Structure 1
């Protein structure tokens, strides 16, 4: 059935549910997995209300370094889970404008035949205000998506 499953993770408790379910499915199907941690690119300039720069390049560099460390920690943890479950796994870190872009691109370029990801399941105004990477992937992906709630 499915032979290559993409499992996005950001290291959060919510994404851990997607990781656990994705690994269980992969083990049952003898499928391999690719774990993805998508790092958002900074697209805005930091400035104070009076138009003065705050932090500049040094602050952006520190934030990017923190993002890279967070990605490494999240991916190391899921790689360990996969090894313990006996599931072949690849880990990928991607720097894109949005996580949904990274998920879709990684699934298509990696030949994945399923994406397993978690969602809060928010609706209405809460979803619109908070945004939903899962909803964006569902709307745009050509690869089937299994949403874990």
Structure 2
């Protein structure tokens, strides 16, 4: 399957590169492979400073979520890959394993620590990559556009939250269970209204209507407990 690899760390240059990568994937009919690399090696002070300030990372933003949401808007299929290790090495390894035809990554067009940190990663990837690499140097206008999209795409609105809930498997199962309960209860009411003599039949020392009513209560409780257990497990798994 054709795919484009997008390494992202949530920085502003990566957000701009995400826009370009989604456009390219849509044009080529390719899957967007979103890569997040978690570095485990100890970092020296200058690297910590670079990550905290030079990356220009928008506070609280998740680069993977942003890429997924942006791709979904253009109906571009995605695959998320999370690696642990050196950034450049994991980008190269992922490109080889996924058979990526293109790598798209962002770098800074500014100077100082931005250029030192982001520029060195891009340069190393270009020199070692087994495939073509597109390096995006965002302009001020592109950065502004990316930050606007972040607010539109990532931030949760009430409508988006409702749509997200409706798409879940838990919601669908809950609807099915409620429908089953509603049908059963409606049948109980209709039967009791039009076939009163039937419900007067004795069963287990009680009339049938009472027995059926108690049975409905116990079944409803069992369904509620079972659904709560399932929903809790599904939430923990996600």
Normalising to structure 1: TM-score of the pair?
0.71
| 1:124 shift after superposition | 9.6
Give the superposition deviation at 1:126. 7.7
Map 1:1-149 to 2 at 5 A.
Answer: 3-43=2-42, 73-96=62-85, 98-121=86-109, 127=115, 129-130=116-117, 132-149=120-137
Q: Which secondary structure state, in structure 2, belongs to the residue aligned with residue 79 of structure 1?
A: helix
Residue ranges of structure 1 left out of the alignment (5+ in a row)? 46-69
User: How much does 1:123 deviate?
Assistant: 7.5
- Coordinate RMSD, CA, aligned: 2.8
2:155 aligned partner: none
SS at match of 1:132: helix
| C-alpha displacement of 1:99 | 1.0
Higher strand share: 1
Aligned to 2:100, the other structure's residue is in SS state coil
* Partner Cα distance (1:81, 1:125) in 2: 29
Tell me if the contact between 2:108 and 2:114 (Cα under 8 Å) persists in the aligned partners. Answer: no
CA distance in structure 2 between the aligned counterparts of 1:124 and 1:83, rounded to whole angstroms? 35
8 Å CA contact retained: 2:7, 2:34: yes
1:14–1:42 CA distance, 2 compared to 1 (3 A)? same
Count residues with an aligned counterpart. 122
Q: In structure 1, how many angstroms separate the alpha carbons of the residues matched to 2:4 and 2:23?
A: 11
Deviation at 1:5, TM superposition (A): 0.3
Unaligned 5+ segments in structure 2 are 45-59, 138-238
C-alpha deviation, 1:21, in angstroms: 0.2
Which one has a larger percent helix, Structure 1 or Structure 2? Answer: 2
Deviations 1:89-145 (A, max 9, x none): 00111111x211111100001111110111114679984x54611111011111110
Secondary structure of 2:42 counterpart:
coil
**1:80 deviation in Å?**
1.4
The Cα shift of 1:42 comes to 2.7
SS of corresponding position for 1:80:
helix
1:2-23 Cα offsets, whole Å, 9 max, x none, are 9310011111111011100000
Q: Distance in 2 between matches of 1:75 and 1:107?
A: 17
Question: Secondary structure of 2:89's partner?
Answer: helix
Separation in 1, partners of 2:114, 2:30: 35
Closer, same or farther: CA 123–37 of 1 in aligned 2, 3 Å: same
